[in-house]
């Protein structure tokens, strides 16, 4: 009986080792990137971006005011969904808001700059 239990235990260890050896670990790599919403990619036509409220699956901002850039956490080397609300100003007055949603940005490294808007996206 003891020999039989030992053999069963050893078979279980061997099976677990085989599964572990054939199943690659896919750890999710994340990083922080600069997301920039320039007018040349269709953001705030005939105005300028004065504030951004943005979110990814990993972080979000409340209204970040004064420029067209935010710093958010993303998954690296895979597509990310980014949702943003942009505040548009002209001559110091709010002239509207714009929603920008992209599901295809693929950052490749921490600290990268990504420019995005309705017309597409670019990265350095």
pLDDT at 27: 73
**Cβ(72)–Cβ(54) under 8 Å?**
yes
Whether residue 35 lies inside any domain: the answer is yes
pLDDT at 22: 46
pLDDT at 14: 45
Distance CA 64, CA 87 (A): 10
pLDDT at 81: 96
Whether residue 40 lies inside any domain: the answer is yes
Distance CA 61, CA 52 (A): 8
What is the full DSSP assignment across the chain? -HHHHHHHHHHHHHHHHHHHHHS---PPPEEEEEEE--GGGTSSTTSEEEEEEEE-SS-B-S-EESSSEEEEEEETTS-EEEEEEEEEEETTEEEEEEEEEEEEE---STT-EEEEETTEEEE-
pLDDT at 17: 47
Whether residue 10 lies inside any domain: the answer is no
Distance CA 32, CA 94 (A): 29
Indicate the number of domains in the chain. 1
Q: Could you tell me the residue range of the domain that residue 106 belongs to?
A: 30-123
Whether residue 65 lies inside any domain: the answer is yes
Q: Return per-residue pLDDT of the chain as tens, 124 residues.
A: 555 545 444 444 444 444 444 445 567 899 999 999 999 999 999 999 999 999 999 999 999 999 999 999 999 999 999 999 999 999 999 999 999 999 999 999 999 999 999 999 999 9
Which among 30, 76, 35 has a CA at the least distance from the CA of 55? 35
Whether residue 77 lies inside any domain: the answer is yes
Residue 72 sits in a domain whose CATH number is: 2.60.40
Whether residue 14 lies inside any domain: the answer is no
């Amino acid at each position: 009986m003891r020999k039989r239990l030992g053999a069963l235990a050893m078979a279980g260890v061997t099976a677990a080792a085989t599964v572990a050896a054939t199943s690659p670990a896919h750890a999710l790599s994340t990083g922080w990137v600069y997301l920039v919403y320039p007018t040349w990619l269709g953001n705030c036509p005939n105005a300028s971006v004065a504030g951004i409220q943005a979110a990814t699956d990993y972080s979000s901002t409340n209204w970040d005011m004064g420029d067209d850039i935010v710093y958010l956490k993303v998954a690296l080397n895979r597509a990310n969904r980014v949702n943003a609300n942009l505040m548009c100003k002209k001559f110091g007055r709010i002239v509207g808001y714009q929603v920008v949603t992209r599901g295809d940005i693929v950052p490749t490294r921490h600290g990268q700059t990504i420019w995005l808007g309705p017309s597409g996206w670019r990265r350095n």
